[in-house]
Amino acid sequence: MDVTLEDVSVEIAGTTLVERLNLSADSGEVVGLVGPNGSGKSTALRCLYRALRPTTGTVLLDGTDLNSMPLAESARSIAALTQKSHTELDFTVAEIVALGRFPHLRGNQRLSDAEWELCREAMQRTDVEHLARRSILSLSGGERQRVLIARALVQEPQVLVLDEPTNHLDVRHQVELLSFLRGCGLTVLVALHDLNLAAATCDRLAVMSRGSVVRTGKPLEVLEPELVREVFGVTPSIVTHPRTGAPQLLYDLTEPEGTT
Ligand SMILES: Nc1ncnc2c1ncn2[C@@H]1O[C@H](COP(=O)(O)OP(=O)(O)OP(=O)(O)O)[C@@H](O)[C@H]1O
Please check whether residue 29 lies inside any domain of the structure: yes
- Protein residue with least CA distance to atom 17, ligand 1: 42
What is the whole-number distance in angstroms between the Cα of residue 75 and the centre of ligand 1? Answer: 24
How much distance in Å is there from the Cα of 129 to the middle of ligand 1? 35
Determine the average pLDDT of the residues in 82-94.
81
Q: What spacing in Å lies between the alpha carbon of 232 and ligand 1's midpoint?
A: 16
Centre of ligand 1 to C-alpha 43, Å, is 6
CA angle 206, 211, 149 (to 5 degrees): 55
- Write 219-223 long-range contacts (CB < 8 A, 24+): 219/32, 219/246, 219/247, 220/245, 220/246, 220/247, 223/195, 223/199, 223/247, 223/249
Q: Is the Cα torsion angle 94, 95, 96, 98 positive or negative in sign?
A: positive
Mutate which of 8, 9, 10, 17 for ligand 1? The one with the most ligand atoms within 8 Å of its CB, which is 17
Cα–Cα distance, 36 to 42 (Å, whole number):
11
Q: Give a yes or no: residue 196 inside a domain.
A: yes
Q: Could you tell me if residue 207 is inside a domain? A: yes
Rounded Cα gap, residues 76 and 211, in angstroms: 29
pLDDT at residue 257 in the model = 59
Residue 71 has pLDDT above 70, yes or no: yes
With CA atoms as reference, report the closest residue to 36 among 198, 234, 231, 238. Answer: 231
CATH number at residue 241: 3.40.50.300
Distance between Cα 74 and ligand 1 center (Å): 24
Ligand 1 pocket, CB under 6 A: 12, 15, 17, 35, 37-43
pLDDT in tens, 11-66: 999 999 999 999 999 999 999 999 999 999 999 999 999 999 999 999 999 999 99
Q: Within a domain: residue 59?
A: yes
What is the domain extent for residue 111? 3-250
pLDDT band at 256 (very low <50, low <70, confident <90, very high): low
Report phi then psi at 250, rounded to 5. -115, 135
Residue 44 lies in a domain: yes
Residue of 10, 34, 39, 167 to test ligand 1 pocket, by largest number of atoms within 8 Å of CB? 39
Residues in contact with 227: Cβ distance below 8 Å, sequence separation at least 6, in sequence order: 207, 214, 215
Tell me, letter by letter, the H, E, C secondary structure of the chain.
CCEEEEEEEEEECCEEEEEEEEEEECCCCEEEEECCCCCCHHHHHHHHCCCCCCCEEEEEECCEEHHHCCHHHHHHHEEEECCCCCCCCCCEHHHHHHHHHHHHCCCCCCCCHHHHHHHHHHHHHCCCHHHCCCEHHHCCHHHHHHHHHHHHHHCCCCEEEEECCCCCCCHHHHHHHHHHHHHCCCEEEEECCCHHHHHHHCCEEEEEECCEEEEEECHHHHCCHHHHHHHHCCCCEEEECCCCCCEEEECCCCCCCCCC
* Closest Cα to atom 6 of ligand 1: 17
Q: Quick check: is 256 in a domain?
A: no
Give the mean pLDDT of 155-163: 94
Is there a domain that residue 227 lies in? yes
Which pLDDT tens digit goes with each residue over 101-133? 988 888 778 889 999 999 999 999 989 999 999
Residue 260 located in a structural domain: no
- Number of domains the chain is built from: 1
Provide the β-strand partners of residue 6. 58
Q: Is the ipTM of this complex over 0.90?
A: yes
